[in-house]
Amino acid sequence: MTTDALKSKTVLISGGSRGIGHAIAVKLAAAGANIALVAKTDQPHDSLPGTVHTAVQDVEDAGGTGLAVVGDIRNDDDVSRAVSATVERFGGIDAVINNASAIDLSPAEHQNMKRYDLMHDINARGTFALSRAAIPHLRASAHQEDWRPKILTLSPPLNLDPAWFGKHLAYTMSKYAMSMTTLGLAAELSEAGVSVNSLWPATLIETAALRNIPGGEKLARGARTPEIVADAASALITGATDWGTGQFLTDEQVLSSVGITDYDRYAVDPSAELVPDIFL
């Protein structure tokens, strides 16, 4: 994979102010991509560092060209504006990464319905809305020589083990809706030459959000850094590995396909036992 594998290509990412989305944006920028980030974080958070503006600065420091779109993917006008602004600035859209997500692991009996709505509006509806709005531009991107446009969604494999529904039904439903979007769009867009896949970490990923939850510091010791997901996403977006379309992949699967099997470099604490991610 060359350092300019994505030169002149444009990637639209939901979220990306911090955590996994930020790591992916910076990684793709280093490969030469234009990065458009649509996120709500216009101002710094009290306990979570980073805004969409600082993320764009990091993208440009990495060698890419960035565009910050302050918006909420729950809002149809904001989604349309993000797509339009990206096309106006960069001339098109070559890949979409659905990274934005909300989480609440409460069981159904104790689930706050406002949190339920938040998860389904961001995870399920937001993923569908942003992907849908970008489809005409992804179809156009498919006409480029030696390039296959892509939609990559950070969502788990569809695992119908009742345990995942019983533990946190509302969250499971919202994340599986993201994965169903992958499955459906892969079939719908196969003839257009658009690749649609999901990516999920094999272990917990260390982020500020993880550290902020009760017991988060302990969990973070058994996690990997966001760079493992960023490296896997980069391999998929650049085409360094081709898994076709409609696949549910883990970061380990993708990286092993490009010859990376030593994951110790990503461990937060190499001496700690790794904590597997949910849904696997």
Catalytic residues: 171
- Under DSSP, the state recorded for 274 is P
In sequence order, what DSSP letters do the residues of 138-204 get, joined into one string? Answer: HHHHTTSTT---EEEE--------HHHHHH-HHHHHHHHHHHHHHHHHHHHTGGGT-EEEEEE-SB-
* Strand arrangement of the beta sheet that strand 34-39 belongs to: 65-70, 34-39, 10-14, 95-98, 150-153, 195-200, 248-250
- Give 29's contacts (C-beta < 8 A, 6+ positions apart): 35, 58, 59, 60, 62, 63, 64, 65, 66
272 alpha-carbon distance from chain centroid: 26
Which has the closest alpha carbon to 25: 44, 45, 53, 48?
Answer: 53
How many Cβ atoms from other residues are within 10 Å of residue 198's Cβ? Answer: 26
